[in-house]
Amino acid sequence: MPLSDALLQDIQDARAHSMPTLRATAPALEALLYTPFPCLDHGFVRVVDYMGDDDAVVQSARVSYGRGTKASRTDRGLIRYLMRHRHTTPFEMCELKLHVKLPIFVARQWIRHRTANVNEISARYSVLDREFYLPRPEDIATQSKDNKQGRGEALSPEQTEDVLAALREDAERAFSRYEGLLEEQSLARELARIGLPLSAYTQWYWKVDLHNLLHFLSLRLDPHAQLEIRVYAEAIAQAVKAWVPLSWEAFEDYRLGGVALSAQGLDVVRRLLRGEAVGQEQSGLAPREWRELMDLLERDETNP
Are residue 278 and residue 222 in the same domain, yes or no? no
Are residue 267 and residue 246 in the same domain, yes or no? no
The average pLDDT across 195-210 equals: 98
Task: Please say if the pLDDT value at position 76 is more than 90.
Answer: yes
Can 271 be counted among the known catalytic residues? no
Q: Which helix (H) or strand (E) holds 103?
A: strand 95-103
Are residue 210 and residue 272 in the same domain, yes or no? no
Are residue 273 and residue 209 in the same domain, yes or no? no
Residue among 274, 271, 298 at smallest CA distance from 285: 271
The average pLDDT across 226-245 equals: 98
Look at 18-22, 136-140, 187-191, 235-239 and tell me which has the smallest mean pLDDT. Answer: 18-22
Three-state secondary structure call for residue 43 = strand
* 154 located within any domain: no
Look at 61-65, 212-216, 272-276 and tell me which has the smallest mean pLDDT. Answer: 61-65
Q: Say how many domains are in the chain.
A: 2
What is d(CA 196, CA 123) in angstroms, rounded to the nearest whole number?
A: 11
Q: State the catalytic residue, choosing from 46, 80, 193, 220.
A: 220
Are residue 220 and residue 248 in the same domain, yes or no? yes
* 126 located within any domain: yes
CB 103 within 8 A of CB 132: yes
Are residue 250 and residue 291 in the same domain, yes or no? no
* 223 located within any domain: yes
CA distances from 230 to 65, 87, 121, 160, 221 (A): 36, 26, 22, 22, 5
Q: Kindly give, in sequence order, each residue whose CB lies less than 8 Å from that of residue 283, ignoring residues fewer than 6 positions away.
A: 264, 267, 268, 290
Are residue 25 and residue 68 in the same domain, yes or no? yes
Q: Kindly give, in sequence order, each residue whose CB lies less than 8 Å from that of residue 254, ignoring residues fewer than 6 positions away.
A: 80, 83, 84
* 243 located within any domain: yes
* 56 located within any domain: yes
- Looking at residue 20, its pLDDT comes to 83
Q: What is the mean pLDDT of the chain?
A: 92
User: How many residues in total does the chain contain?
Assistant: 304
- Looking at residue 70, its pLDDT comes to 58
**Which CATH number goes with the domain that contains 20?**
3.30.1360.170
* 18 located within any domain: yes
CB 237 within 8 A of CB 221: yes
* 291 located within any domain: yes
The average pLDDT across 10-23 equals: 81
Instruction: State which of 7-21, 64-78, 202-216 shows the largest mean pLDDT.
Output: 202-216
Are residue 35 and residue 79 in the same domain, yes or no? yes
Picking from 256, 271, 287, the residue at the C-terminal end of a domain is: 256
**Domain that residue 292 falls in:** 263-296
Are residue 203 and residue 290 in the same domain, yes or no? no
